[in-house]
Structures are given as C-alpha cells and as structure tokens.
C-alpha cells in the first residue's frame, strides 16, 4: 500500500515538476506586473491570464500524456486538454490537465497497440497522423462536455473545503500530515499534485495563496538541523548538521534533513509543531505567495512573496525554525540515536521505493547463479567499478560466481543476473531476456545490492572457488602507459554545477592528449542518459559508446571538490573523468573501488591537498 501511494504521488508530481520553470515565470509576472505588484505594468500584466489558463494546463497535459503514451501521447494530451479548458472557463484547469493528459496518452497507446502489425504498407504515416487528429478531436469534445465541467465541480468542492479550514482556523492541522508524508518522499506529490492546483485557483482570484506556503517553508527542517548541530552527542552527526542546514535553507533540498528524522523518529514532532505554528501565523496575517516556490529554499520563498508581505514571510519561517528547534532540542539531547550513515542508508531504500525502483527480493538457489553482469551504457566506468566492489564483497563467501561488467547492449548470453540502473532496465531486458534483473540507483551503495548480497550469502558456501572477474584478453600495459598523471589531479576546487564539473574533467582529458573535442560533449550527453554518480561522494563521468572513436589514449583525471558538486539529490566530492582504450583503465578503476572500501581513506581523499597521496592511492 505504501509503495502504491508513493508511486501514485510520484506520477502526479512527475507531470508538474518538469514544468516548474513555467510556474516560476508565471509567478514572477504576477508578482511584478499586476496592479499590486512590485513594478505595475498594465500591458505586461495581460500575460498573466494566458499563461495561467492555457500555457500551464497544456504543458502539464502534454507531460502527462507523454509519460503514458510517448510523444504521440504528449500531443494527444495537448489537444484534448483544450476541450477541458474551454469547458471550464471560470477556473484554471491544472487538475483537469492532470486527468486528461494521462488519459489521452493511454487512449493513443491502446490504439497503437491494437494497430500494431495491422497497418497496410505505405499507409503508416497517414494512419498515425489522422489517428491523433481524429481521436484528439473526440477527446477534446469529451473534455468540453464532461471532464471540464466535472473538474470544475471537484475544484469548487476542494476550494470550499480549504475555505472552511481557513475560516475555522483548522488549516494548521494539515501539518500533521505534511511533515510525516515528506519523510516518506511524498513531498512533491503533496505540494505539486494537490496544493499547487488549488493554489493556482486562489492566486488567480486573490493574487496570492497560502497553499504555496504549507509544504515549502524551510523553517521546520532548519530547526531540526540546528538542534542536531547544538545538542547531538554523535560527533559525525554534529559536524554534518551545519552544512546540511545551509544546503536545506539556501538550496531548498528538504530531503537532506530526512535522515536526521529517521535517526530519532520521535523528532518528527518538532517539524510538525513548527509548521503548525507557522501556518497559524500565515493564516491570521492573511499571508500567501503568488506562485509555488521551487525548490523550497528561503530564496524561492521570498521571491514568490507579494509586495508588502516580505516581513510576514520571514517571520513565518523564523517561527517554524524556533518552535522546531525548541521541540527537537531536548529530544536530541536525551535520546540515543542511530548513526547518520545507517539512517541515510534507510532513506536511500525508502527513496528507491518512492520512485518505484526498489527491486523485489532476489530469490536464488545454490548453483543457480554462475555469472552476474554489471551493465552501464558504455560498459567502461560505472559498471566496472560496481563489478569490482561487489566482486570483492562476495569473495569471502566462496560461491564461485563470476562477476564482470559490460555495456548494457552487449550482455553475454550466459549471464544469470544483470545489475543496472533503473533507466537502463528496458535495454537490459532486450539485451538479456534470459537473465534476472536487479535495478539500482547507484553502483556503490544501494539497498538492492544489499538484497542481492544477502540472497547470495543465504546460499551458503556451495564450493571452494572464489568470486572472480570474467577472464578477458587484455593488452599488456607498459610502464609508460600510466593513465593517471600528476597534471591530471586538481585539488581544492570550488563547488560548481554538475555540467561544469563534467566539462572541466573532459577538458582536462583533452589537455592531456587523451581525447578529441567531441568526447567532452559526449560526456555531457552520457550524463543525460543516466547519472554517473556512483555513491559515497564519487562520480565517474565518461563518454558514450559512440564516442569511443574520440579516445586517443587511456587516461583518468581526478577533480576534488571538498564542498561537493550536486548530482541530483547527492553530492560528489571526487569527480573522476575517464577515457579508455580497450581495458587499460580497468586496473585504475579497481584501485579506486578498493580505496572506497577504506572509509577513513575515502574521507581523507575528499579534502587532502597532497597530490602524492592521490597518485599513491590510485597507482
């Protein structure tokens, strides 16, 4: 049930999140140019209504349709939602778009499956184009007469419900559900799937909405982190809290405080009460935002605050912070806690479930598994490290299982289990339909790898052979083919964006004569396919399979960012850029993987200014 709710919430927020930039653009236009805005402009204010009533619903419907029915589903969603908009002219039809978009995608997907193999040769384009046009027209008519009016009724009911809560002073009680739901990774679903559509309707009539403030206030989480900073007895937790507080407050990444809640679950009372008090203050003072702050940082929160209400927003955040801190402080001070690492591992498992990527427990019997293949896009970097680390992990079990790595499109026929990232699972199924699939978030520290290990361990010692790498023919590597040079190590760099870090690694490989110009762009393209973040603060960006022709000689460079580079929700302090001819780079990758086994050494590598230590570790 929990996973079903999480996946449904993920689906709802998935229609809104890619379009947050459009929401922010609309919010700024509202805040700046309406009559009560910061820079009133009658002409520019006319942009408000078309963006709210047409642009945002069409974008959401297109995204929802594409999620279900691909590109044709996206077009269908865009066509069909116009009927919904025209059928409910008095309300912004975001919720209607969230219904019609996926429905239209499902309709065209069903049609395409029914027509598969039944279209006369030469008529494919005609049928494909006319099917979208005709079915899209019919769905637009359905939206005009049925779905639009029905969603208007639903929106009226929800708005009246919110009005009742506001008028009776009950709105603060929603914090009882918001804060625990956030820790279960339903924050985006609640904020963008429920509060944003309701808030848009309120903002359209009143110019602002309190609904935008309910989940995004950074104060409750900030109070928890400050309490751990001041009162935690665990040194690692105490030292990590200030950095987490900065990322949370200014970066808007609320997920960073979730493991601190999981260490002492009773601490959840603190953000609940902090948010209750803040919402009560916002309710009494008539506060609201003009658009959804995304991400939920203090910067976004204030940017979406209407003119004349900035002080109210700041006070509300401070109230939430102070109350949350005061409630969390004695709990943190008196209660024992799990380690932060253990809680982060638990959070990773929960997050995998929320994204629908958690694998079912792997059930294997003794002798049933002979070969495990770690697969990534190119089979060059991340899969090689993942295979090395897992091979070393199961080696003491004496199972005789071979662990190797390859490109996801070239999985060998004798493979029994394929381990790959979630976004590559369809390619893995096509490449190795006979193999059992284990999907992961990253190759170094993932709960599904723990499940696989436990399943193998439960087999017992089935023989005396050890887990070994797949025997392969390798070129002899002469002493002058060292792939990590002193010039390829850069330490103490200032934090930059993921794209800037990847390009810097590629440019350094190019300067060392390892790759051509096109390889750098291929590294960025590779990152768009699936993240090269490995876990444990390590990323290994490299080029696509198609860019191997750009590799002139093998090389690995290392860029150290002590403050970290954001790779999605994680941060990488060590960024290794890779270019490999044949298998020349695999020995160094094995050294990197082995170094990750030593936690103290790994932490030292993230901050050291000693290049000789780096070269000694990875040579």
Active site residues: 376, 542
Q: What is the SS3 assignment for 301-321?
A: HHHCCCCCCHHHHHHHHHHHH
Do 281 and 214 touch, CB atoms closer than 8 A? no
Angle, alpha carbons 423-424-428 (nearest 5°): 150
Residue 143 has, within 13 A of its CA and on its CB side, a CA count of: 31
Gyration radius of the chain over CA positions:
27
Do 544 and 526 touch, CB atoms closer than 8 A? yes
Q: State the angle between helix axes of 148-167 and 94-115 in degrees (0 to 180), rounded to the nearest 10.
A: 150
CA distance to 98, 125, 137, per residue, from 133 (Å): 21, 12, 6
* Residue tagged 């000694």 (tokens): 616
Q: What is the SS3 assignment for 365-383?
A: CCCCCCEEEEEECCCCCHH
Q: What is the DSSP secondary-structure string of 289-303?
A: BSS--SS-SHHHHHH
Calpha distance 444→388 (Å, rounded): 10
- The one-character DSSP state at 255 is G
Angle, alpha carbons 597-601-607 (nearest 5°): 130
CA distance to 85, 342, 359, per residue, from 22 (Å): 18, 38, 34
Residue/partner pairs of 198-203 with CB below 8 Å, 24 or more apart: 198/155, 198/158, 198/159, 198/162, 199/289, 199/292, 200/52, 200/56, 200/92, 200/94, 201/91, 201/92, 201/155, 201/159, 202/159, 202/162, 202/288, 203/30, 203/288, 203/289, 203/290, 203/291
Q: State the angle between helix axes of 340-354 and 235-246 in degrees (0 to 180), rounded to the nearest 10.
A: 50
Residue 374 β-bridge partners: 405, 419
Cis bond before residue 333 (omega within 30° of 0): no
Calpha distance 196→202 (Å, rounded): 10
114-126 CB burial, b ≥16 within 10 A, e <16 = eeeeeeeeeeeee
Do 530 and 462 touch, CB atoms closer than 8 A? no
358-389 CB burial, b ≥16 within 10 A, e <16 = bbeebebeeeebebbbbbbbbbbbbbbbbbbb
* Residue tagged 């309707």 (tokens): 201
Neighbours of 583 (CB within 10 A): 16
Residue 240 has, within 13 A of its CA and on its CB side, a CA count of: 13
Calpha distance 10→17 (Å, rounded): 10
Structure tokens at 458: 């439960």
């Amino acid at each position: 049930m929990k996973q079903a709710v999480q996946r449904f919430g993920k689906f709802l927020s998935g229609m809104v999140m890619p379009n947050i930039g459009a929401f922010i653009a609309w919010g700024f236009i509202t805040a700046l140019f309406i009559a009560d805005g910061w820079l009133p402009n009658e002409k520019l204010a006319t942009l408000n209504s078309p963006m709210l009533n047409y642009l945002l619903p069409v974008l959401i419907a297109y995204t929802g349709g594409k999620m279900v029915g691909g590109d044709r589903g996206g077009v269908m969603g865009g066509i069909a939602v116009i009927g919904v908009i025209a059928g409910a002219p008095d309300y912004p039809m975001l919720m209607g778009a969230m219904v019609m978009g996926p429905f239209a995608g499902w309709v065209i997907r069903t049609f395409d499956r029914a027509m598969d193999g039944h279209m006369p040769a030469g008529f494919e384009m005609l049928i494909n184009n006319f099917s979208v046009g005709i079915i899209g027209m019919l769905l637009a008519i359905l939206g005009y007469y049925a779905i639009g009016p029905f969603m208007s009724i639903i929106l009226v009911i929800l708005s009246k419900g919110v009005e009742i809560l506001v008028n009776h002073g009950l709105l603060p009680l929603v914090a009882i559900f918001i804060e625990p739901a956030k820790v279960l990774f339903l924050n985006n679903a609640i904020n963008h799937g429920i509060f944003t559509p309701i808030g848009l309707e309120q903002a359209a009539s009143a110019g602002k909405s309190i609904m935008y403030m309910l989940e995004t206030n950074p104060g409750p989480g900030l109070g928890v982190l400050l309490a751990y900073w001041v009162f935690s007895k665990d040194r690692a937790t105490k030292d990590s809290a200030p950095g987490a507080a900065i990322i949370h407050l200014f970066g808007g990444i609320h997920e960073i405080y979730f493991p601190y809640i999981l260490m002492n679950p009773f601490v959840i009372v603190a953000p609940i009460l902090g948010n209750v008090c803040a919402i009560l203050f916002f309710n009494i003072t008539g506060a609201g935002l003009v658009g959804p702050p995304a991400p939920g940082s203090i910067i976004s929160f204030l940017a979406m605050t209407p003119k004349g209400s900035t002080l109210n927003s700041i006070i509300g955040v401070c109230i939430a912070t102070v109350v949350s801190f005061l409630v969390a402080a004695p709990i943190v001070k008196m209660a024992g806690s799990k380690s932060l690492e253990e809680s982060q591992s638990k959070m990773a498992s929960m997050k995998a479930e929320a994204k629908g990527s958690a694998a079912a427990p792997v059930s294997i019997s003794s002798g049933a598994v002979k070969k495990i293949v770690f697969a990534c896009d190119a089979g060059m970097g991340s899969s090689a490290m993942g295979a090395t680390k897992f091979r070393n992990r199961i080696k003491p079990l004496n199972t005789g299982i071979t662990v190797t790595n390859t490109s996801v499109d070239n999985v060998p026929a004798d493979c029994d289990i394929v381990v790959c990232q979630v976004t590559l699972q369809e390619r893995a199924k096509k490449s190795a339909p006979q193999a059992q699939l284990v999907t992961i978030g990253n190759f170094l520290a993932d709960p599904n790898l723990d499940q696989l290990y436990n399943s193998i361990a439960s087999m017992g010692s089935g023989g005396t052979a050890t887990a070994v790498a797949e025997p392969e023919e390798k070129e002899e590597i002469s002493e002058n083919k060292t792939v990590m040079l002193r010039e390829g190590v850069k330490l103490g760099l200032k934090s930059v964006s993921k794209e800037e870090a990847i390009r810097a690694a590629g440019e350094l490989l190019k300067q060392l004569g390892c790759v051509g110009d096109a390889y750098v762009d291929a590294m960025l393209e590779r990152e768009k396919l699936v993240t090269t973040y490995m876990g444990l603060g390590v990323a290994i960006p490299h080029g696509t399979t198609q860019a191997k022709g750009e590799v002139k000689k093998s090389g690995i460079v290392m860029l150290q960012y002590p403050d970290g580079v954001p790779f999605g929700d994680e941060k990488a302090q060590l960024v290794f850029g890779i270019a490999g001819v044949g298998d020349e780079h695999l020995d160094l990758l094995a050294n990197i993987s082995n170094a990750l086994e030593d936690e103290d050494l790994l932490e030292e590598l993230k901050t050291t200014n000693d290049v000789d230590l780096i070269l000694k570790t990875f040579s």
